[in-house]
């Protein structure tokens, strides 16, 4: 039995040892016999689960591939990611799903799940969950008058449905020239109306649903107690009034809101009203993000989310317990993943944190840039995946193929 000792986060912080066999936690006690690694006063914290990444494989590997994406996530303390289906081709059939799974399986450095895309036509897939868009930004689109059909289909499949909540008929399909125009073209009401429509349709179906990257306090209030929902670091930390190296760096869907709205959302965050934090890691190249009108929407974030939030724990913005629920316990529980806490029977996934060692965010995505570059943060010094060390002294020591697919 391998044993890891130190200050362990488990219903508070306690000095204890973790016993590991076959990748699982088999014992937690003050004293255990076996091969020990003691991390002294550093904190041993559950590794995070990022439920929303776009690793661009297949079809756009020049921006990111499954190896570079999972490596970037590992360095930040994430040991499980769920990858979105809007690839090229989109993952909307069982054949496309199986081709993608075969392609990425041997490249993953950490555990992963794959979403299946669902349009107005449902096809059963061995995915961890389904994803649909209410905005016509890609071919994975469901119109608002067909959302009840989709909800019934995923209810029958006994899998969650993850929803990009922007109502297509509300969006102005013009060509915005800057962030403020982009926000006006996809105004807050587009999100609020989408959440309202889905909740109404699901009122008598009771499918398991999650709203991605909510940006408005009104949508959060509507979803509270009726669905799972998440927010992203960029909607918490950036507004459409912020200056970027290139303005298109801040072009995302749904858009960055006004500074006033951002602050309201941040208040919900610090008061513990956000159940899940998700990166929505969506990398594009520097060249693609130079011209605002032509730039695709999205920004990288998988490497930044946890280090940024650990710094905010140190600063006192949020508690360690709040972060634990948002990035560990709640995402793992919603998707039925055996991670997210240091408990007997769970995967031996955790990160080691020294809060005294502040660093700056470094771009780790294949796309080569980060809107958070230079921001203060705290990276984990060590990361374990099912008991195997994949980050040691802030350097990646894992390898392609170490990750397992979760279904």
Q: How far apart are CA 315 and CA 397, in angstroms?
A: 30
Q: How far apart are CA 263 and CA 256, in angstroms?
A: 12
Q: How far apart are CA 257 and CA 187, in angstroms?
A: 8
Contact 16, 44 (CB under 8 A): no
Q: Is 65 a catalytic residue?
A: no
Pick the CATH number of 47-338 from 3.40.50.850, 3.20.20.80, 3.20.20.140, 3.40.50.300: 3.20.20.140
Contact 250, 295 (CB under 8 A): no
List the chain pLDDT tens, one digit each, 407 residues. Answer: 999 999 999 989 999 999 999 999 999 999 998 889 999 999 999 999 999 999 999 999 999 999 999 999 999 999 999 999 999 999 999 999 999 999 999 999 999 999 999 998 889 999 999 999 999 999 999 998 999 999 999 999 999 999 999 999 999 999 999 999 999 999 999 999 999 999 999 999 999 999 999 999 999 999 999 999 999 999 999 999 999 999 999 999 999 999 999 999 999 999 999 999 999 999 999 999 999 999 999 999 999 999 999 999 999 999 999 999 999 999 999 999 999 999 999 999 999 999 999 999 999 999 999 999 999 999 999 999 999 999 999 999 999 999 999 99
pTM: 0.98
User: b or e along 144-153 (b: 16 or more beta carbons within 10 Å of the residue's beta carbon)?
Assistant: bebbbebbeb
Q: How far apart are CA 391 and CA 382, in angstroms?
A: 5
Residues of the chain with CATH 3.20.20.140: 47-338
Q: Scan for tokens 């041997």, then name that residue.
A: 106
Q: Which of 65, 83, 280, 347 is catalytic?
A: 280
Output the six-digit token pair for 120.
Answer: 């107005």
CB atoms within 10 A of CB 96: 19
């Amino acid at each position: 039995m391998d044993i890891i000792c130190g200050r362990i986060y488990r219903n508070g912080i306690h000095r204890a040892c973790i016993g590991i066999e076959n990748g699982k936690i088999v014992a937690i006690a003050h004293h255990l016999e076996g091969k020990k690694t003691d991390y002294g006063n550093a904190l041993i914290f559950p590794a995070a689960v990022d439920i929303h990444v776009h690793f661009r494989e297949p079809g756009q590997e020049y921006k990111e591939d499954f190896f570079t994406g999972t490596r970037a996530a590992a360095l930040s303390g994430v040991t499980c990611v769920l990858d979105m289906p809007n690839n090229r081709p989109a993952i909307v059939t069982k054949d496309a799903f199986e081709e993608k799974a075969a392609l990425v399986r041997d490249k993953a450095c950490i555990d992963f799940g794959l979403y299946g895309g669902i349009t107005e036509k449902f096809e059963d897939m061995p995915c961890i969950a389904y994803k649909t868009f209410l905005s016509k930004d890609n071919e994975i689109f469901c119109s608002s008058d067909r959302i009840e059909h989709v909800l019934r289909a995923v209810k029958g499949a006994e899998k969650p449905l993850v929803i990009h909540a922007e109502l297509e008929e509300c969006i102005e399909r013009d060509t915005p020239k800057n962030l403020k125009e982009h926000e006006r073209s996809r105004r807050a009401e587009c999100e609020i109306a989408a959440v309202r429509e889905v909740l109404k349709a699901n009122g008598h179906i009771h499918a398991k649903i999650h709203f991605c990257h909510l940006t408005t306090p009104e949508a959060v209030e509507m979803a509270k107690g009726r669905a799972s929902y998440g927010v992203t670091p960029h909607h918490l930390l950036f507004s459409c009034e912020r200056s970027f190296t290139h303005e298109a760096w801040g072009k995302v869907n749904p858009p960055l809101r006004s500074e006033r709205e951002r602050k309201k959302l941040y208040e919900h965050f610090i008061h513990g009203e956000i159940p899940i934090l998700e990166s929505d890691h969506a990398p594009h190249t520097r060249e693609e993000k130079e011209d605002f009108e032509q730039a695709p929407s999205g920004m990288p974030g998988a490497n930044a989310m946890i280090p940024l939030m650990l710094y905010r724990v140190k600063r006192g913005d949020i508690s360690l317990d709040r972060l634990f629920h948002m990035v560990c316990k709640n995402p793992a529980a919603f998707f039925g993943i055996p991670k997210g806490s240091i408990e007997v029977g769970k995967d031996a996934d955790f990160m080691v944190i020294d809060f005294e060692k502040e660093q700056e965010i470094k771009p780790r995505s294949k796309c080569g840039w980060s809107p958070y570059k230079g921001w203060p943060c705290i990276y984990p010094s060590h990361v374990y995946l099912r008991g195997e060390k994949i980050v040691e002294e802030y350097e990646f020591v894992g390898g392609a193929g170490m990750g397992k697919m979760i279904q």
